[in-house]
């Protein structure tokens, strides 16, 4: 069903990323300055420096692609709480065509 939906929407399979950088943190203004959001801050800063725009991919993540030292990198900012981040990381792996080694 997902494949059919992707084809219907005209989506192309992304070129696999060599690296997946996931910035864990908790969503919401009340957590924005919490030290547990260091991962989110890091991904935001990498995106800024690389000129990468993070776009919504489904409900669980924002993702953008860039290049570091000649390697394709996927920058991911989950839209889930840290303790629910496994679902977001799984979605990110599928979105960027990455495989676990």
Q: Measured between alpha carbons, how far is 31 from 69 in angstroms, rounded to an integer?
A: 33
Which domains are delineated in the chain?
14-96 (3.40.50.1470)
* Structural contact between residues 62 and 93, judged by C-beta atoms closer than 8 angstroms: no
Q: Measured between alpha carbons, how far is 47 from 85 in angstroms, rounded to an integer?
A: 20
C-alpha triplet 88, 62, 42: angle, nearest 5°: 90
* pLDDT tens figures, 19-77: 899 999 998 889 888 888 999 999 999 999 999 999 998 889 999 999 999 999 999 99
pLDDT grade, residue 4 (50/70/90)?
very low
Of 13, 36, 53, 94, the catalytic one is 36
Give me the phi and psi of 66, to 5 degrees please.
-150, -170
The reply to whether 36 belongs to the active site is: yes
SS3 content of the chain, % helix, strand, coil (to 5): 40, 25, 35
pLDDT grade, residue 101 (50/70/90)?
low
Full 3-state SS string of 48-85:
HHHCCCCEEECCCEEEEEEEECCEEEEEEEECCCHHHH
């Amino acid at each position: 069903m997902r494949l059919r939906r992707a084809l219907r929407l005209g989506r192309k399979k992304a070129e696999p990323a060599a690296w997946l950088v996931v910035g864990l943190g908790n969503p919401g203004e009340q957590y924005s300055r919490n030290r547990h959001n260091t991962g989110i801050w890091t991904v935001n800063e990498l995106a800024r420096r690389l000129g990468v725009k993070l776009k919504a991919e489904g409900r669980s993540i924002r993702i953008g692609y860039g290049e570091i030292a000649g390697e394709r990198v996927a920058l991911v900012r989950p839209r889930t709480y840290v303790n629910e981040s496994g679902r977001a990381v799984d979605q990110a792996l599928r979105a960027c065509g990455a495989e676990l080694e």
